[in-house]
Structure 1
């Protein structure tokens, strides 16, 4: 059962010294140090800390924002810590102590807030997508081949040119040429069936 500290600053220019000093003063036997944005999902030291947690350990931070930048992220990280049989404690926010009933209640509240945050993000994304479609914005990656080039590829293929030669001429893969020409053939056959 150990106290393990986690110290983080957002940029290379900022110093970790104050956090490390505070965490060492709270009897943290080890302090993981990170220079990365709180929004960064791939925080190597945080991943290492969680991976090395043992049952009964306590993760200590000087402030909650050193661990996460959003309610959703905070809940997800603290949940991971608890799943390892460890606890979480923030020095600046004494209520954020999962060893107490108040801390566990706050964690449950955080879970609810994280769900609300997730739903809001989902709603905003859907609204943004719908608005973009109304404005005529095409979603997804831009097409590698214009409509004019598509027609040219189909014509050249129908004239018997090899897939490889067409692909080189348009700087696309053979698969792209094949999809365009196969799609054109199936569209043509569907059209012919309708006219019969």
Structure 2
């Protein structure tokens, strides 16, 4: 029996996923008119993170449900722990065209650099990010994408400045005679003494190591370099 072409098509539904945890929140908002390439289920995810200082996630949940999110990934984060397994699950389930919505960016990341790393992972999945409190961070829009691109450029610029300052400071210190690296265990006179003892052959390797207060592995490396230079 052929289907009636005039029959209304079944409306697609967005799937939503839930996770337990700390006080951060993510949810995805699907566009009202999805692109043909997105004619599949759009993924909505909420993520709630609660820290030891903020044990109540109810406010975040209410804000997310107000924009259509009713299932949540949540986890509790202690101290400066960077591992967020529930957030990782949310990102792993993303597909092209999805979006993650958070109540605030500080519920998503602990630092600016951490935020840029998470945004990059979301972008690599072909998805976007929205913040209810910071609309300028909406990467699903061209304006929000440009803002975060600029921020990423600033972070890279800052990293290069730090590297350049460290390199300049090291060069200046070396010009003043400062030596870097671990201090030599043995002086040149002691090294020459070791070579003589080895050449004489009257003292064991263990005895030489004990005499100079070094480990036998240190002694063997010293002799190996000496043999290489001699050849």
Indicate the structure with greater helix content.
1
Distance in 2 (CA, whole Å) between partners of 1:147 and 1:12 is: 53
Alignment of 1:76-155 (within 5 A): 76-134=117-175, 136-140=177-181, 142-143=182-183, 145-147=185-187, 151=191, 153-155=194-196
Whether 1:172 aligns to 2:215 is yes
Question: For the Cα contact (< 8 Å) 2:73–2:87, is it kept in 1?
Answer: no
Q: Which residue of structure 1 aligns with residue 198 of structure 2?
A: 157
Structure 2, gaps ≥5 residues long: 1-41
TM-score (norm 2): 0.61
Q: Which residue of structure 1 aligns with residue 90 of structure 2?
A: 49
How many residues are aligned here? 185
Residue 100 to residue 132, structure 1, CA distance change in 2 (3 Å): same
Whether 1:74 aligns to 2:115 is yes
TM-score (norm 1): 0.69
Structure possessing the higher radius of gyration over alpha carbons? 2
SS at match of 2:164: helix
Residue 137 to residue 19, structure 1, CA distance change in 2 (3 Å): farther
SS at match of 1:145: coil
Question: For the Cα contact (< 8 Å) 1:63–1:93, is it kept in 2?
Answer: yes
Structure 1, gaps ≥5 residues long: 191-196
Residue 173 to residue 74, structure 1, CA distance change in 2 (3 Å): farther
Structure 2 residue corresponding to 1:64, chosen from 80, 85, 105: 105
Q: Which residue of structure 2 aligns with residue 182 of structure 1?
A: 224
Distance in 1 (CA, whole Å) between partners of 2:44 and 2:189 is: 64
SS at match of 1:59: strand
RMSD: 3.5
Residue 164 to residue 57, structure 1, CA distance change in 2 (3 Å): farther
What's the CA shift string for 1:93-118, capped at 9, x where partnerless? 10111111211221221232222122
Q: Which residue of structure 2 aligns with residue 194 of structure 1?
A: none
SS at match of 2:46: strand
Q: Between 54-63 and 95-104, report the one with greater CA deviation.
A: 54-63
SS at match of 2:101: strand
Residue 100 to residue 127, structure 1, CA distance change in 2 (3 Å): same
